[in-house]
Structure 1
Amino acid sequence: MKKIFLYILLFPIWGVVSAQKTEGIVHYEYQLNWIKMIKKLPYLTQEEKDRMENSFKNEENTKQKLNLYFNEKESIYTWGQDQQEYEGTEYKGRNEELLMHKNFELEKHNDMIEMSGKTYLLQDSLQKIEWKVMNQIKEVAGYICMKAVTEDKVKGQKITAWFTGDIPVASGPEQFHGLPGMILELDIDDGTLMIEATNVEFKKLEKELVLPKMKGKKINDKDFNALISKYINDSIKMQRNPYWAIRY
């Protein structure tokens, strides 16, 4: 308890001390557990879940590499340069289109996301995430992090984030942001999806934060969330796993 209390007291001070640590690259490993995902599908019987678990036992996890390029004003989250295909699964192929840009000065985001074979340009204001900061700490990639929780109401998922004040930039992987420090780990849906920083590289960025030319159907958050919700509900009714075609 004393350690947690001391961390909370020092958090604003560490933000000042770490002011120079506001530009660089966070390297993440994205690990999706197919067995845990399958067990959550409501239309499967226990026998079917057990059979699928046995089929996937040697290919339980999908591992991918993603990078977050950041400075104080903005961040871009996209595939790692050496990430060409899935690892740890028998299914091979190209990665879907993915680039998530957050502009903290303008409080806007500009994302390119592929869903069910279609590419969307998701452009809107940065939405405020209702985080609850907890009195728990742990180390991630060499940084002391605090725990925060929220909920993805569209997908019905519990979200746990671990963030560090040593990197005073309010960004993170996927669509998550808004904490007083960089998110270095995300636990989505009780460990079904884990996104963990493997290392942080502080450097002056040159072209990494220049947005490339992006193509796709323009859409705002409200309409995109409605598409996601409908796709999940329709897939479940048809007894299909929706997460073959959309991000978990």
Structure 2
Amino acid sequence: MKKGILSLLFFSFFISFSQKDFQGVAYYESKTTIDMSNFGGGQISEERKKEIAQRMKSMLEKTYILSFNQIESVYKEEEKLDAPGGGGSPWRVMMGSLSSGPQYKNIREQKLLQDQEFFGKQFLISDSLPKINWIMGSETKQIGNYMCFKATAKKTVPDSPGFGRPSNDEEEKKTKEIDLVAWYTLQIPVNQGPGEYWGLPGLILELNADRTTILCSKIILNPTEKIEIKAPSKGKEVTKAAYDEIVIKKTAEMRADFRSRGGRR
């Protein structure tokens, strides 16, 4: 019975959104927490850890904009003015370099492109869309004006020892499996979502992945001004795996420098 209702809802919404020029814009709030228990390898005081955590908090709370149609999307961070006096700190440079650049997804071509700057170098990360084996359930909840359904999945990610924590080459290569929980709405029947997440029969409005929560706060459908969704093309083209190796190497260098200065800026 529930599957029949889901099919009926999807069919009715699909008909209403089947026009060729359908577009939309979704705004997302992203928050990430950090496990500070082993930060600095036990060489930093609790007071110092709290100070660092507070400084990093604002860097880990971001707003993103997803521009989408039925085939393509671009997900990018909303530009904000830096606080006076904070733009040049090593912490902000480090976190800024690790932030994802604009991500382009093409569902038809199964392509993901990311325009990424990393410590002054421009990269174009080119790869296939990641396969996510979603398990769709019947649990629902309301997000704003939209009825959403729950879907879950598993994802393997690098298990980094963390900035400021001792590590070796073997630790850098470790991975871990995290749980994904997505809430999607059939009222907007596109296979899109924030970041690299996609593949459900409706727009993903909330995504929980390990210590990160991404929640949609606003949606504009068919805006008056036409949206231009353009694939990035600048930068040195690399695969996601090759780029991850570059990040791991640079992060290890930064971590060693951080430890050599005793955790001081």
For the criterion TM > 0.5, the same-fold answer is yes
From 141, 144, 155, the equivalent of 1:151 is 155
Q: Matches of residues 27-176 of structure 1 in structure 2 within 5 Å? A: 27-33=27-33, 37-39=34-36, 41=38, 43-45=40-42, 48-49=45-46, 51-53=48-50, 56=53, 60-61=57-58, 62-80=60-78, 83-85=79-81, 91-92=86-87, 98-147=101-150, 148-155=152-159, 156=176, 157-176=178-197
Find the counterpart in structure 1 of residue 198 from structure 2: 177
- Larger radius of gyration between Structure 1 and Structure 2: 2
The one-letter code of the counterpart of 2:181 is T
Structure 1 Cα separation of the partners of residues 145 and 257 of structure 2: 43
Question: 1:138 touches 1:146 (CA, 8 Å); kept in 2?
Answer: yes
The worse-fitting range, judged by mean Cα deviation, of 67-76 and 150-159 is 150-159
In the TM superposition, residue 107 of structure 1 has moved relative to its aligned partner by 1.5
Find the counterpart in structure 2 of residue 12 from structure 1: 7
Find the counterpart in structure 1 of residue 168 from structure 2: none
In the TM superposition, residue 49 of structure 1 has moved relative to its aligned partner by 4.9
| Per-residue Cα deviation, 1:78-133 (whole angstroms, up to 9, x for no partner) | 133xx32468x984479667211111111112211233443321112222123333
Structure 2 Cα separation of the partners of residues 175 and 152 of structure 1: 14
| Per-residue Cα deviation, 1:19-47 (whole angstroms, up to 9, x for no partner) | 234521111112233xxx14265653397
Structure 1 Cα separation of the partners of residues 75 and 27 of structure 2: 10
In the TM superposition, residue 169 of structure 1 has moved relative to its aligned partner by 1.0
Q: SS of the residue aligned with 1:15?
A: helix
The one-letter code of the counterpart of 1:218 is E
Structure 1 Cα separation of the partners of residues 129 and 120 of structure 2: 25
In the TM superposition, residue 235 of structure 1 has moved relative to its aligned partner by 6.3
Structure 2 Cα separation of the partners of residues 121 and 237 of structure 1: 25
In the TM superposition, residue 203 of structure 1 has moved relative to its aligned partner by 0.8
Question: 1:154 touches 1:229 (CA, 8 Å); kept in 2?
Answer: no
Identity %, equivalent residues: 23
The one-letter code of the counterpart of 2:80 is Q
| Per-residue Cα deviation, 1:180-234 (whole angstroms, up to 9, x for no partner) | 2211112232xx322110011101562421346x4211012332344445556x3
CA RMSD of superposed structures (Å): 3.5
Question: 2:113 touches 2:231 (CA, 8 Å); kept in 1?
Answer: no
In the TM superposition, residue 13 of structure 1 has moved relative to its aligned partner by 1.8
In the TM superposition, residue 55 of structure 1 has moved relative to its aligned partner by 5.7
Q: SS of the residue aligned with 2:234?
A: coil
Structure 2 Cα separation of the partners of residues 15 and 98 of structure 1: 32
Structure 1 Cα separation of the partners of residues 146 and 85 of structure 2: 34
Higher helix share: 2
Q: What is the number of equivalent residue pairs in this alignment? A: 226
Q: SS of the residue aligned with 1:195?
A: strand
CA 1:10 to 1:42, structure 2 compared with 1: closer, same or farther past 3 Å? farther
TM-score of the aligned structures, taking structure 1 as reference length? 0.73
In the TM superposition, residue 56 of structure 1 has moved relative to its aligned partner by 4.1
| Per-residue Cα deviation, 1:134-167 (whole angstroms, up to 9, x for no partner) | 4533222332222323224235344322222221
Question: 1:164 touches 1:183 (CA, 8 Å); kept in 2?
Answer: yes
Structure 2 Cα separation of the partners of residues 126 and 58 of structure 1: 34
TM-score of the aligned structures, taking structure 2 as reference length? 0.69
Question: 1:63 touches 1:86 (CA, 8 Å); kept in 2?
Answer: no
Q: SS of the residue aligned with 1:238?
A: helix
Question: 1:132 touches 1:150 (CA, 8 Å); kept in 2?
Answer: no
Find the counterpart in structure 2 of residue 215 from structure 1: 234
